[in-house]
A and B are shown apart, each in its own frame.
Chain A
């Protein structure tokens, strides 16, 4: 149901469409109208056709128009289908003879327009729209439209053929649905009455599908397979079983024939079949076919098939293992001599593919990504360590470090320096860190990762992947004491060089990595010391002056984490640096020309404030951070500042107050002290100023924080914190509201101070929050706005070049 105010607009739109259809140019207006019509079929219980009889006139005139535009005709067909979607509308259209006029081939006065794909598409879409009740189906059957639909399955236009498939599947589906039963006859019954007429329709469709599967024409086979997978996934019984029984033989022929280009559609069919109860019926042979699929065809298809099998949800373990073995073959082929006879046959195919650069790369990428996927699900590999080792071996081959290659004498020199395989391999190596059994391999893994980190030819993206993998493996290594020695002796020297890299991307990822590693090792007593003694902390500090904004931001993040780590373990060590760190952070926040470093500074302060160990002398800087962050040009800095304010507010107002000083007056409540503290830090000014910020997300965040303040400070009404209105952004707004409220009784020209409870009350935060949560585009996307646009486009005499959608 639409809003009543739109009804009038709908009327205007239909009239305009009727009278000006030849003058319409903007297709998007049609689509917009189509999108909204389904919701507008029934207004106040009346069908749209009854409300807008001019629509009938419109359909009739378009169909009878000799020189109708194909876009208009297409639109009309879709509209007719839409209007015929209700039985009432269908009857009205039938009575007027408009259904036959629109959907029978001889119905239009411009039959040549059938050659336009958009018209055929509109025709199909129209039929699809009508398929909502039994009468529609009868209309299709009686007028022999099934034949046309079967013909359109092989239409040269992909959109048309796929739509034809969809209509056919919908017909089959519809016949088995409860909608088919006459509402009066079979109310509540789930059984569908499949009369002889309907059996003949379904048989016709199924027969056509079976014939197409046996066809020698490749596109026809593909279309039939597409339809088959659609039927399997969308249709219920008995259609599904009927169809499967008939297609089983041609399907087997196709699978055993092993045509490479059919692998994907065939797998889609099997994938759909696996998800149905057919899987559990032994005579349906779903698993046999899947297995045959894996074993048939040439090597390349078999890998593609294996990758698809692995992604099947309900796949028997035996088959899955087989598929995984195939996925692992290329990697195993690099490291060991294959033993199995069946594998040996594949090995010949493999050797050929591995010796050619492009096929080798795609094969290895498939294999690696397959392993990564499996690792994400923690799949129990039979020989996990050998899988991990073969990934490492591949990575060493790619970096050119390996002195002897595979036992197959395949020349793999084309892999040296291949970034694609390196990146994918490093991802896989990272993913394999989830297995506890791999912990023994940590030294070997870091040997490979170090090679990449030290290799001057490593591409920046490869280095990033190496660092990402390293973070995951650091986590694996963290319980062992030898980690610290490795970090100080091997890892930090390699990272030190990378922090001086010419490429900013590398410096950036290295600093990001150090931050992540420091966070991961938070609580490790030795790490903080290594960070300090190795000189890495000084390097991080010097990176704060990098020329690249992103690097400075990452350096800020890394310093932030390092400080957190140091303050926990070696507060004394930190003391000498802290003043310098805070002043450099403040300098970045107030002077840096780029937003990223400034955002990072605020985030660092937030993280320090959140930490369990309070940073000495932090509260002296907070006021400046809130003030600089709140006045920043970058809205994200402001958001981060509000997040800092959030943490500060929570710490101060909850029972364990943050650095609350003992009040001078014993009468002051804890709440008042806390609020005064927040006021002194500038937090209240920040929230109120942000509430009237020009950026909506900032206002929204500030509003939610003020609401939170109201919740946290339950007794806010009783506090006597007074805010200074003058000189603040928010002052004017609040001041005027205040004056309105007083109804100018005292005719005050200006006010200076308002109490906090008054301010909170005056603002009507709940209503503000409601408005702010609506996204800024909610206005332009409303049906009302859409229809106004349609009217506007109709009224425009000149072509509307700019499409505002």
Chain B
């Protein structure tokens, strides 16, 4: 059993498990942080961005004026943002049989895996994962395609040039594997390979293993996976949460008794408690609105935004925000808000029960009805005429490199009354803000990451007790910025196996058993001998038939006498030759009675030597050695066949034939 690690990112994993002749990809997350090296894509012409000076090396030797621009002391690539893909050279992607998706954030690289790689397998995901994942992909494509760039910057990637560039561009690795965003065509094709599964549904893969998704409590339809054969169990834990938010709670008990547990997707900000951050979010928002400023919340169009809106719904009146308009701007805003209301079976019990009242599970329906929350596909169109300040705007993309958020940054960045509140933990807020400097607006960092923290995960592991844990390398050491926080790492016995990008791990357990079925007629013919109470043994002669990883013992068909033929028979048609099985011997040779027997048969001089596995008997006069061990008896007797046979017969007196 091997694990190929195609991504080193702890929360955007992409691993391939080879288990019993199947090749299973576990998630395919897309690392979008590479886009932070690019200039933002403004929706409306930005004089500031268009006037940025191009970059020329100090000695003038390298001139990349058209590709690189200088902004606030840093150099950015002026091209359509690109993303860092999972490793594609470590493994032939066409050999992948299935891809298991655990949540919609971990499937964004799917088109890069399934398209143009020879992939012919199946992708398994729950319905909300597929639908919301589709929305996120559509949104990403829309953000890119709305603002096409005439040129693509490629020269800077040349290794010789790259090393001459200023930091941080010169330190970026694997830039050649960065790719532009996929197209809608590729998205549709990739998603057409998805087969839907429900929680605890068992899916057979080639008869060899069974996979089954379990609720992970992180987002709508998010799952952990159990991959098991008859005798082995591998659990794959991706983004999971024990907090009481909107999704169904995490199913922990089914993860018990795993041989291997692959643990990914823990919180990215272990020091930030989501409740505290939510409180910070609300108080900062309220403070800004009270002072007459606007609030910008760069966020994904699904996920934490539902909880943010719910929290604000409760907080609004107490903070006197009742008259403040809330805007949600995304190409998929409408679908996201509506989808969240229809996936009732995937929601927590509290929200599920609302559906029977009947009430919408999320309160944002009421916010929309009362016109407190308005959603628009873009800043163009209705929004521009209905826009009222001060207001709160939720919009993407959280990297601040593309999407409608770029416009608001340009619009509100100059006033200190306004505030930008970062809630998504995927991007460094300082990096995200770099091309907008100098910035007058207030910045607040309230990362809300509901995934498991180290305290919760150690409790969970104590409870489910896997034999081995495999995890990304960063989880095995304290955060680099806080080396004293040994509580923010996994401390387990035995130590977890750590992986990084491009690692190939041999997982530490051996396959020892296979299940084989007996056909009834064969079973009937067995003659059992009871070895000890409850254990019976029989010999069986049969044909082992293996197909689709299922093994069946069938009776041997005695060949009918074949009339002599002159025709040459095909070898393959020959029935197997049936031989009478040799009798099997069972039992043990007890030392003292055996010595007595030897004595009785005239062998007097026996020197007994104790060994680790039993005894060695040295028949001194005959110069014969007899090894009596638990697993076998050996008679070493050269040149005296009759003595050997006689001794053998003496040994056989203590054994039973089956």
Contact = CB atoms under 8 A, between A and B. Distances in A.
Contacts of A503: 279
A497 B487 contact: no
A547 B277 contact: no
Nearest to A506: B279
Given A403-B482, A535-B291, A547 B318 contact: yes
A400 B481 CA distance: 13
Given A457-B272, A500-B290, 10 more contacts: A402-B484, A403-B484, A411-B487, A413-B485, A416-B485, A456-B272, A458-B276, A500-B283, A501-B279, A502-B279
B271 interface: yes
Nearest to A498: B283
Interface string A505-542: 00000000000000000000000000000010001001
Query: Interface residues of A: mostly helix, strand, loop or mixed?
Result: loop
Contacts of A404: 484
B272 to A, nearest CB: 8
Nearest to A543: B320
Contact of B318 (A411, A413, A504): A504
B73 to A, nearest CB: 28
Contacts of B272: 456-457
B286 A500 contact: yes
Q: Is the interface of B mostly helix, strand, loop or mixed?
A: helix
A539 B290 CA distance: 8
Given A535-B291, A542-B290, A500 B277 contact: no
B295 to A, nearest CB: 12
Interface of B: 271-273, 275-280, 282-284, 286-287, 290-291, 311, 315, 317-320, 446, 482-487
A456 B318 contact: no
B312 to A, nearest CB: 10
A404 B275 CA distance: 27
Nearest to A504: B318
19 contacts: A400-B271, A403-B482, A403-B483, A455-B276, A456-B272, A456-B273, A456-B276, A456-B277, A456-B279, A457-B272, A457-B276, A497-B283, A500-B286, A500-B319, A502-B282, A502-B315, A535-B291, A542-B290, A547-B318
A546 B290 contact: no
Interface in A410-444: 411, 413-414, 416
Q: Of A414, A500, A503, which is in contact with the most chain B CB atoms at under 10 Å from its CB?
A: A500
Given A403-B482, A504-B318, A546-B318, A496 B287 contact: yes
A413 B283 CA distance: 29
Contact of A405 (B280, B282, B484): B484
Contacts of B278: 502
A252 interface: no
B277 A413 contact: no
A403 B271 CA distance: 13
Given A456-B280, A501-B279, A502-B282, A548 B287 contact: no
A400 B482 CA distance: 10
* List of 10 A-B pairs having minimum Cβ-Cβ separation, nearest first: A456-B276, A413-B487, A500-B286, A500-B283, A457-B276, A547-B318, A456-B280, A502-B279, A457-B273, A502-B282
Nearest to B316: A547
A545 interface: yes
B318 A548 contact: yes
A695 B284 CA distance: 45
A400 B485 contact: yes
Nearest to A400: B271
B283 A501 contact: yes
A455 B277 CA distance: 10
Given A545-B320, A547-B317, A547-B318, A500 B484 contact: no
Contacts of A403: 482-484
A500 B485 CA distance: 31
Contacts of B273: 456-457
A500 B446 contact: no
A547 B286 CA distance: 14
Nearest to A456: B276
A411 B320 CA distance: 45
Contact of B282 (A500, A535, A546): A500
Contacts of B275: 457
Contacts of A456: 272-273, 276-277, 279-280, 446
Interface string A461-474: 00000000000000
Contacts of B484: 402-405
Interface in A530-577: 535, 539, 542, 545-548
Nearest to B271: A400
A436 B333 CA distance: 61
A546 B315 CA distance: 11
A502 B318 CA distance: 8
A331 B280 CA distance: 32
Q: For B271, B279, B284, which residue has the most chain A Cβ atoms within 10 angstroms? A: B279
Contacts of B277: 456
Contacts of B482: 403
Nearest to B317: A547
Contacts of A542: 290, 320
Contacts of B311: 502
Q: Which of A403, A502, A504, A535 has the most CB of B within 10 A?
A: A502
A413 B273 CA distance: 16
A546 B290 CA distance: 13
A414 B455 CA distance: 10
A497 B273 CA distance: 18
A497 B284 contact: yes
B287 A497 contact: yes
Interface in A452-504: 455-458, 496-498, 500-504
A545 B319 CA distance: 9
A502 B273 CA distance: 15
A503 B314 CA distance: 12
Nearest to A404: B484
Contacts of B279: 456, 501-503
A456 B290 CA distance: 20
Nearest to A412: B484
A416 B487 contact: yes
A35 B485 CA distance: 63
A413 B484 CA distance: 8
Contacts of A547: 317-318
Count chain B CB atoms within 10 A of each CB in A405, A498, A547 and give the residue with the most: A547
Interface in A161-195: none
Nearest to B273: A457
A414 B487 CA distance: 8
Contacts of B487: 411, 413-414, 416
A600 B483 CA distance: 50
B422 to A, nearest CB: 14
A770 to B, nearest CB: 49
Interface string A224-244: 000000000000000000000
A467 B282 CA distance: 21
A413 B486 contact: yes
Q: Which of A413, A416, A503, A546 has the most CB of B within 10 A?
A: A413
B287 A500 contact: yes
B194 to A, nearest CB: 39
A496 B319 CA distance: 13
A497 B277 CA distance: 13
Contacts of A411: 486-487
A500 B271 CA distance: 23
A291 to B, nearest CB: 39
A759 to B, nearest CB: 48
Nearest to A403: B484
Contacts of A501: 279, 282-283
Nearest to B481: A403
Interface string A318-331: 00000000000000
Nearest to A551: B318
A535 B417 CA distance: 13
B625 to A, nearest CB: 58
A413 B483 CA distance: 12
A300 to B, nearest CB: 25
A41 B5 CA distance: 94
